[in-house]
Chains A and B, each alone.
Chain A
Amino acid sequence: MVAIEDYVARIEETCGAEKDFIVLFKYDKKDEAIAKILEKAKKEKAISTIIFELTFKNVSFRLYGTGKAIFRDLKDKNALQSILTELLL
């Protein structure tokens, strides 16, 4: 069975007052993860294939072609886990 751990290498809570989360996708799975996310999330803005400004269920986040994403204004890590589950699985 596929799990978000198959795609996600690490989750970092940012240092600063913002309390954002940075998700680092596994190198060999990043393209697959990006494709899945782009399929489900609404694209607000894109800078070529490098950066995508996205929203999904009222959560705004930025996805980078390098396989990293920054999620803003989430309540906690559980909220992030459920968003990632919906986006990736």
Chain B
Amino acid sequence: MFDPHKIREDFPILKRKVNNHPLIYFDNAATSQKPRQVIEAIKDFYENHNANVHRAVHTLSQEASELYENAHEEVAKFINAEGMEETIFVRGTTEAINLVAYSWGLRNLKKGDEVVVSLMEHHSNIVPWEILASINGFSLRYVGVNNDGTLNYEDFENKISKRTKIVCFSHVSNVTGVVNDVKRIVKIAHEYGALALADGAQSVPHLPVNAKDLDIDFLAFSGHKMLGPTGIGCLYGKRELLEKMAPYHGGGEMIREVSYDPKKKRCSISWNDLPWKFEAGTPNVEGGVGLMAAIKYLKKLSMENVKAHECALTEYAMRRLEECKKVKIYGPKNPSVKCGIIPFNVEGLSSHDVALFLDNYGIMVRSGFHCAQPLHQIFKLNSSTRASFYIYNTREEIDQFVEVLKEIEQV
């Protein structure tokens, strides 16, 4: 296990005060803070290696290309993909899911087909499928959630059928922190001949994730939630699937050849190799470099330790929150089935009031639907307050959080 107090020294922002109080950052499910190592890697890129990547012969471009390719390799190793061909860099989880929807879904889903989606999803794993369903005419089947926020596997087995072409679900819920049994879902999906897509936005930053072992077909995640910069994320896809898929963004970088046929008066196009086929235009090189630094940082800590630290914090926070009589926590009571996310409300107050009150004391939490309105409908909630932890959070911060919540209860 690592010492979070020591880790905090790497994060410049954690030294600042907010509203005259030391910053307590509990909004990690929205985005994580960045260590000096990531900030410096980006600075070093711009100060020493900046150039556009690929298809240039000069030294700087060669250096930038190498860094960008190394970043793909680093990501591939981190999730145990077969190689960088299986890791497509995108802006984030949302773009990764849209890539699958439009590159694969647009050409493979038709009337009579079904897509199975869970009701605990972030909107980014609902909206692209709803848009596509309205274009292609396939059906969406939503899998229910139990009262404790866990996935209703029985309902999943009832909803999946031979008509199902893909099942889409989060590895970890961004509202409750519930960890879904990916292996079980993937196995069932494959038995029906369907593909499986996991939204890994809340899992890849917090748990060891092994794409090959999970046998997942697509895995989407964001760099900014795992210490990396914003605007960079990854779509993992099995190579054989990605090879069959056509890109949905066209432009430079993603082609091998564009040749004009004067007879046909058209251009014929051949695609570049993976992963570049799906990365049209000048890519986010700096983002890739930052993400690589972030992964190196996490690997040094070991993802097993990251998971253990967050589980211990969650367990401690849930125990301490029992002291707050007006605080109601949603989701499973057993911390071992979830990641470091705690959704709650304070009786008589809106989630926004709670978040503003905590902000007074320098404590940053999120309030609202957290882009998961259907799940809030199931819980019959107008909104919720969400505290989410990461590697640099401490028990002392949770103590302070609980003390402020006790004050809020007096309002």
The verdict on A66 contacting B359 (CB below 8 Å), with A15-B369, A18-B383 known, is yes
Question: CB-CB < 8 A to A53: which residues of B?
Answer: 411
The 9 closest A-B pairs by CB, nearest first: A16-B383, A15-B368, A17-B382, A16-B368, A14-B352, A66-B19, A18-B382, A15-B369, A16-B382
- Chain A: CB-nearest residue to B19: A66
Question: CB-CB < 8 A to B19: which residues of A?
Answer: 66
Inter-chain contact B357/A51, CB cutoff 8 Å: yes
Closest-CB distance, A20 to chain B (whole angstroms)? 6
Inter-chain contact B360/A50, CB cutoff 8 Å: yes
- Chain B: CB-nearest residue to A65: B360
Produce 1/0 per residue, B349-389, CB < 8 A to A.
01111001101100000011110000010000111000000
Q: How far is the CA of A50 from the CA of B411 in the complex (A)?
A: 12
Inter-chain contact B352/A16, CB cutoff 8 Å: yes
Q: How far is the CA of A53 from the CA of B19 in the complex (A)?
A: 20
- Answer whether residue A8 sits at the interface, using C-beta atoms and an 8 A cutoff: no
* CB interface residues, B 384-411, toward A, < 8 Å: 407, 410-411
- Chain B: CB-nearest residue to A21: B352
Q: How far is the CA of A22 from the CA of B353 in the complex (A)?
A: 10
* CB interface residues, B 124-143, toward A, < 8 Å: none
Closest-CB distance, A19 to chain B (whole angstroms)? 9
Known: A16-B352, A17-B382. 13 other contacts (CB 8 A): A14-B368, A15-B367, A16-B383, A20-B350, A47-B407, A47-B410, A47-B411, A62-B356, A64-B356, A64-B359, A65-B360, A66-B360, A72-B350
Produce 1/0 per residue, A51-89, CB < 8 A to B.
101000000001011101010100000000000000000
Q: How far is the CA of A16 from the CA of B410 in the complex (A)?
A: 24
Question: CB-CB < 8 A to A45: which residues of B?
Answer: 411
